Structure 1
Amino acid sequence: MKRQAARPLTGLALLLAVYLCAPFIASIPEIGRADWAGVDWHTAASAVGVSVASASVASLIILLGGVPLGYCLARSSSRGLAVLGFIVQLPLALPPLTSGVLLLFLFGPYSGIGSVIGGLTDSFTGIVLAETFVAAPFLVVAARSAFAAADPVFEDVAATLGHHAGSRFFRVALPGAWPTIRAGLVLAWLRAFGEFGATVMVAYHPYSLPVYTYVVFGGQGLPAMMPLLLPTLAIAVACAALSAYRRGATEPLSAALADSADEPLVIAARPVSAPAAEDPRLVFRLARRLGAFSLDIAWAPATRRLAIIGPSGSGKSLALRLIAGLETNEAGGVTLGATDLGALPPEARQIGYMPQDYGLFPHMTVAQQLAFPVHADAAAARYWVGHLGLGALENHLPKQLSFGQRQRVALARALTRHSHLLLFDEPFSALDTPRRRRLQQSLRELQREIDAVTIIVTHDPDEAALLADEILVVDQGRVLQAGGIDEVFARPATLRAAELLGLSNVGCGVVHAARRIELAPGWIVEADCAELPIGTPVMWRLATHAIVLTPDGPHEARVAAIELRRGERFARLDVGGARVDVALNGTRLDEGQQCRFSVDAAGVSAWPGSLRTVCA
């Protein structure tokens, strides 16, 4: 059921609608007073032809120059283009007669151009020049708005799929903006067709329809002019009908939108994969300053399944864009095996890039998406269509696909080009937990099939642990820790790294005596640390099972909080300023209560660290 409009808004809408319709209604009784016999139909037809032809020529000129101009204005942040954008809109604010005077200064018989070329005024050319000047802003504004509203990620994805700037504009940017541009073009044509003020100043002859209507009105009065309204009304009605016309009804959403469409991938016996590089190691040094934020990270992992983890705003996505060549790397470089990717534009890097919403082009079907990459391998495309369960979806648009189906289409599109590097920017962030887990498992299976290096950007530690063999922890544009998954999760380098990895029962302390560590002021436990000298600053971690609540335990704590995690109750204990979590397992504790516990030395791990850095 359609939502009813708010009553005050309905009243205002009806008020304006009545006013706009009233002149048409008022003209109906006047039809009988029109002087049909006195009309010079030959001259009137000529005027209609001049207006239609000049408006069409002017619109073509406006289209050819206005669309690129709107694109440049939308994509550039330079002050010069901002000033230009202001100037090209001035004809909208000028009275038409003023526009005509300005054009006479440029093209009039006594101007520099007019004296050299001559014949620009009082000619068909003069009419086109006048109409182009006053109508162009309608298209330029529409094009600028359309390109500014379009998500630039589509052009970024097209670049990583091998398309140069011109191809990205005509095949991605322009089709997406075309509906709005088309509306602006109709407005520009109508404005040119009905232009009077500038035209009468620049080119009184040959008569355009508005000028001829004015001449008849001035010489013969309203009855003789009324028949000339018919062609104008007819053309206006035709344009309005075209604007209101919509091609067909919206296609129904695919029945495959059900959750069952996001089933795990079926692993084939003979997978098709990209040719392996001689040395698939990825090495990079990335540096970029954006306002007050600066990114400066370096990494040389030894494996092919990688993850970058960090909080929002830490530079994860920026790092991925620098690797893809979509942002300027201000220092260092990017190499994949023997290939210097940093020296190549994004379209030449032979990579696959998946942004958070997968970057599927909204105007392309699944089949068109898979054929879009430059040098796409048709055999590989057919393989991945069948392998990823996309055979029944080839004629579907992205809006008809579920999130899981979109992800698989984006994967197939990247793999049809034999990409050696796949970049995933939080591909599961918008999904619910059950679906996210299924698709994570699917991607993990895919990683085992292909030879490409994969980088997953995420803020989910579980996702990083599942999909990567090595992990890079970043915060505020800097590296906190890098290494193998097991190593980093077992021994976080700092408390901040431990927090970002989702680890609990981690802190910093000092070796108190042989086989004893002071975890917090006054809290000393036994631990296997005989190899560490007394007084050594350390990072420590307590296994959850090492903490046992018992009435006669040697350690005392205050219950800081009670939390429910995945159906199990945990108590957060405050021990000398350190916080540790313990599973209650049926034990009844209340927030603020004092309790006692023991610590199993076998569950205590410690490793050297600097108090200046680990406790920051």
Structure 2
Amino acid sequence: MTQPVQRAARPLWWLGALLAVYLCAPFLASIPQIGQADWANVDWHATWSAVGVSAGSASVAALLILVSGVPLGYWLARSSARGVALLGFVVQLPLALPPLTSGILLLFLLGPYSPLGLLFNGALTDSFTGIVLAETFVAAPFLIVAARSAFTAVDPVYDDVAATLGHHAASRFFRVTLPIAWPAIRAGLALAWLRAFGEFGATVMVAYHPYSLPVYTYVVFGGQGLPAMMPLLLPTLGIAIVCAVLSVYTRGARATLAVSVDNGDELTAITPAATASEAADLRLSFAAKRHLGAFTLDVAWQPRTRRLAIIGPSGSGKSLALRIIAGLEANEIGTSSGAVMLGTTDLGVLPPERRQIGYMPQDYGLFPHMTVAQQLAFPVDADTASARYWLAHLGLDALTQRLPRQLSFGQRQRVALARALTRHSQLLLFDEPFAALDTPRRRRLQQSLRALQREIAAVTVIVTHDPDEAALLADEVLVIEQGRTLQAGPIDAVFARPASTRVAELLGLHNIGEGVVRGAGEIETASGLRLPCADVRGDATTMPGSRVMWRVAPRALRAAPDGRWEGCIAGTSLRHGDRYVTIELEGELFDIPADDWADSQDGPRALRFEIDAGGVTVWTAGSS
């Protein structure tokens, strides 16, 4: 099976090898020339003067390019303003221009008789300043392109997480975004320096004097020929090799621990957050509205408990609602109308860095350049004692010097959780925190988070599409779809009486449907099945003709030789490790536990069934 793959790859290997040989050949060809070079007649004073001019001007140019090129690259990567694409094209044009053309263009701008040249009395040409300006023009695109690509590749979620950890925009840029992008920027900076160091065409047009190394090499070659070149090439080759090594060198992450764990010390139990009695009145309420193209989110919720869940299908607006609560997305309701309240605190008027919250995105948002200890020390108001507590409490003490790439998914989740808890946050927001985990690990971590919720007094909001997760980790639930609220209320009430069949479907509930009251003790389903029901009380909400929701308890349906209804076995299913048998009665499907079904034979066989009226419940559609 591997032979065809190897044969298919061989031509590519040969093409790569051919180019590699060609690129290496000039260096190999120069080796014999070392001994034949005219070393005796080398003007070392002039040579090292030229090397100094080129190295100094390239360093000044690289510094100018770095200071201004990194912000420009960031702007080009993150701005959506009109004209930015055109600007990005223009600043890269020097890459496509012949160097002599670049020099001529610079003379139009800087030449002795240009407005700028007259203003500076000709000091911008035939001077060290002229060399720097010429090198900056031709070399800047190398750094700008690298910076733009690097910043584009940085996931914006890191900036979001840093904001929720209390850092303002400048701090987020210098401590998170720039360090992540720096390896690529550093490579671009090395290329820009080399391009400036070796620049000839634009330099010779703008500043023939003082001699830079490329210009001096050209002058010597014209006067003495090829034998004099090797002594001049050696400094250039040496500098190029050093820069190439620096451009690919990656410094290992230092384990400078702002949070240390001394295993010899006894762990002192601390209070990780306010006690439940102190936070008895801490409640979250919000109204969120946002238009994104054809999608509109418009939800409002005033729950009465602290453990909350938002559930809905993909694309329903769950994560968007969570980001509005965190202050990471604009809320079109406004910032001064109490749209997001936590107790008596109006979060809506605060930027995300001042909301004192913990936010965990789907991939946990661990900064790739920070160790575990540095992650926990990163929040603005991180508490060292709290960090020590949670490191031990979540089993992370042995991982403090590891980077995120050295952690498992479960370990990353625990690190992100510990980082949020080091702030004593009163509001914790979790966006699909267990979506990337396998089932056994997800179940274990769900149980751990449930235990943690009992220990802390913070309000927790879990965004999920898993109804079992919502039932485990929340006391109240908000069900949304297409940006609209379908139902909200206590977990028990919503699961017991979903407002519609769509809510029941999203909650993974079975044996539920809509029907019409036909008389005392009887409900007609959408397929025409007449269900007996002892729950119909005859009040105004369940009078004949009223539309209602109904539910049949799984054990209320049983096979009976003289049963009233004829049906058949439509199949079997497995849910959360439990096997169910699906029964079809007059077009309606019902699931009953397989343990209650003695006959294990599957297939559409006609049987008689009985329904216990006491196991059928009814409620008004749209109510909880």
TM-score interval w.r.t. the shorter chain? Answer: over 0.9
Given candidates 27, 30, 51, the residue that maps to 1:24 is 27
The question of 1:529 aligning with 2:536 is answered yes
Distance in 1 between residues matched to 2:270 and 2:61, nearest whole Å: 59
Aligned to 1:192: 196
Residue 378 of structure 1 and its aligned partner are, at CA, apart by: 2.3
Per-residue CA deviation, residues 316-353 of structure 1 (Å, 9 max, x unaligned), is 11111010000101115211111110100000000000
Question: CA 1:250/1:169 → structure 2, altered by over 3 Å: closer, same or farther?
Answer: closer
Unaligned ranges ≥5, structure 2:
256-266
Given candidates 300, 307, 324, the residue that maps to 1:322 is 324
Residue 421 of structure 1 and its aligned partner are, at CA, apart by: 0.5
Length-normalised TM-score, structure 1:
0.92
Per-residue CA deviation, residues 514-558 of structure 1 (Å, 9 max, x unaligned), is 011112343112102123211110111111111112343211234
SS at match of 1:79: coil
Partners of 2:356 and 2:423 within 8 A in 1: yes
Aligned to 1:99: 102
Moved more, 568-577 or 462-471: 568-577
1:212 is aligned with what amino acid?
Y
Distance in 2 between residues matched to 1:403 and 1:268, nearest whole Å: 28
SS at match of 2:457: coil
Structural mapping, 1:231-250, within 5 Å: 231-247=235-251
1:606 is aligned with what amino acid?
V
The question of 1:128 aligning with 2:132 is answered yes
2:591 is aligned with what amino acid?
D
The question of 1:174 aligning with 2:178 is answered yes
Aligned to 2:559: 549
Structural mapping, 1:372-451, within 5 Å: 372-451=378-457
Distance in 2 between residues matched to 1:504 and 1:42, nearest whole Å: 90
Distance in 1 between residues matched to 2:377 and 2:17, nearest whole Å: 49
Number of equivalenced pairs: 595
Partners of 2:529 and 2:588 within 8 A in 1: no
The question of 1:116 aligning with 2:123 is answered no
Residue 600 of structure 1 and its aligned partner are, at CA, apart by: 1.2
Distance in 1 between residues matched to 2:279 and 2:271, nearest whole Å: 17
1:417 is aligned with what amino acid?
R
Distance in 2 between residues matched to 1:460 and 1:6, nearest whole Å: 45
Residue 227 of structure 1 and its aligned partner are, at CA, apart by: 2.3
Distance in 2 between residues matched to 1:88 and 1:473, nearest whole Å: 49
Aligned to 2:580: 570
SS at match of 1:308: strand
Partners of 2:57 and 2:131 within 8 A in 1: yes
Question: CA 1:269/1:394 → structure 2, altered by over 3 Å: closer, same or farther?
Answer: closer
Residue 568 of structure 1 and its aligned partner are, at CA, apart by: 4.6
Partners of 1:421 and 1:454 within 8 A in 2: yes
1:367 is aligned with what amino acid?
A
Per-residue CA deviation, residues 274-322 of structure 1 (Å, 9 max, x unaligned), is 4745731111100111111111100000000000000111111111101
Residue 583 of structure 1 and its aligned partner are, at CA, apart by: 3.1
Residue 212 of structure 1 and its aligned partner are, at CA, apart by: 0.8
SS at match of 2:31: helix
Residue 88 of structure 1 and its aligned partner are, at CA, apart by: 1.1
Distance in 2 between residues matched to 1:546 and 1:452, nearest whole Å: 41
The question of 1:210 aligning with 2:214 is answered yes
Question: CA 1:13/1:579 → structure 2, altered by over 3 Å: closer, same or farther?
Answer: same
Distance in 2 between residues matched to 1:491 and 1:9, nearest whole Å: 64
Given candidates 230, 233, 247, the residue that maps to 2:234 is 230
Residue 249 of structure 1 and its aligned partner are, at CA, apart by: 11
Given candidates 605, 608, 613, the residue that maps to 2:620 is 608
Distance in 2 between residues matched to 1:379 and 1:570, nearest whole Å: 50
Partners of 2:557 and 2:612 within 8 A in 1: yes
1:227 is aligned with what amino acid?
P
Distance in 2 between residues matched to 1:129 and 1:12, nearest whole Å: 39
Residue 13 of structure 1 and its aligned partner are, at CA, apart by: 1.6
1:200 is aligned with what amino acid?
V
Question: CA 1:564/1:394 → structure 2, altered by over 3 Å: closer, same or farther?
Answer: closer
Distance in 1 between residues matched to 2:580 and 2:146, nearest whole Å: 57
Distance in 2 between residues matched to 1:136 and 1:553, nearest whole Å: 85
Aligned to 2:350: 344
Moved more, 540-549 or 561-570: 561-570
Given candidates 50, 54, 76, the residue that maps to 1:51 is 54
SS at match of 1:306: strand
Structural mapping, 1:453-532, within 5 Å: 453-527=459-533, 528-531=535-538, 532=542
Question: CA 1:512/1:589 → structure 2, altered by over 3 Å: closer, same or farther?
Answer: farther
Partners of 2:363 and 2:433 within 8 A in 1: yes
SS at match of 1:48: helix
Given candidates 64, 74, 81, the residue that maps to 2:77 is 74
Length-normalised TM-score, structure 2:
0.91
SS at match of 1:580: strand
Distance in 1 between residues matched to 2:60 and 2:141, nearest whole Å: 16
Aligned to 1:301: 303
Given candidates 152, 156, 160, the residue that maps to 2:160 is 156
Distance in 2 between residues matched to 1:395 and 1:459, nearest whole Å: 34
Aligned to 2:313: 311
Partners of 1:504 and 1:580 within 8 A in 2: yes
Identical-residue share of aligned pairs (%): 71
SS at match of 1:67: helix
Unaligned ranges ≥5, structure 1:
252-266
Moved more, 552-561 or 436-445: 552-561
Distance in 1 between residues matched to 2:271 and 2:465, nearest whole Å: 31
Per-residue CA deviation, residues 69-99 of structure 1 (Å, 9 max, x unaligned), is 1111111122222221111111111111111
Distance in 1 between residues matched to 2:468 and 2:269, nearest whole Å: 29
Given candidates 608, 616, 620, the residue that maps to 1:596 is 608
Given candidates 331, 334, 356, the residue that maps to 2:333 is 331
1:596 is aligned with what amino acid?
R
Question: CA 1:159/1:244 → structure 2, altered by over 3 Å: closer, same or farther?
Answer: closer
Moved more, 169-178 or 594-603: 594-603
Partners of 1:158 and 1:172 within 8 A in 2: yes
Aligned to 2:259: none
Moved more, 201-210 or 274-283: 274-283
Residue 567 of structure 1 and its aligned partner are, at CA, apart by: 5.0
Partners of 2:283 and 2:305 within 8 A in 1: yes
Residue 433 of structure 1 and its aligned partner are, at CA, apart by: 0.8
Residue 169 of structure 1 and its aligned partner are, at CA, apart by: 0.3
Distance in 2 between residues matched to 1:423 and 1:566, nearest whole Å: 26
Partners of 1:286 and 1:322 within 8 A in 2: yes
1:529 is aligned with what amino acid?
V
Distance in 2 between residues matched to 1:294 and 1:152, nearest whole Å: 22
1:122 is aligned with what amino acid?
D
Distance in 2 between residues matched to 1:425 and 1:307, nearest whole Å: 10
Partners of 2:268 and 2:389 within 8 A in 1: no
Moved more, 187-196 or 385-394: 385-394
Residue 408 of structure 1 and its aligned partner are, at CA, apart by: 2.1
SS at match of 1:77: coil
Distance in 1 between residues matched to 2:25 and 2:465, nearest whole Å: 60
Aligned to 1:146: 150
Partners of 2:161 and 2:359 within 8 A in 1: yes
Per-residue CA deviation, residues 421-471 of structure 1 (Å, 9 max, x unaligned), is 000001000111111111111101111111111000000000000000000
Residue 598 of structure 1 and its aligned partner are, at CA, apart by: 1.5
Distance in 1 between residues matched to 2:155 and 2:252, nearest whole Å: 26
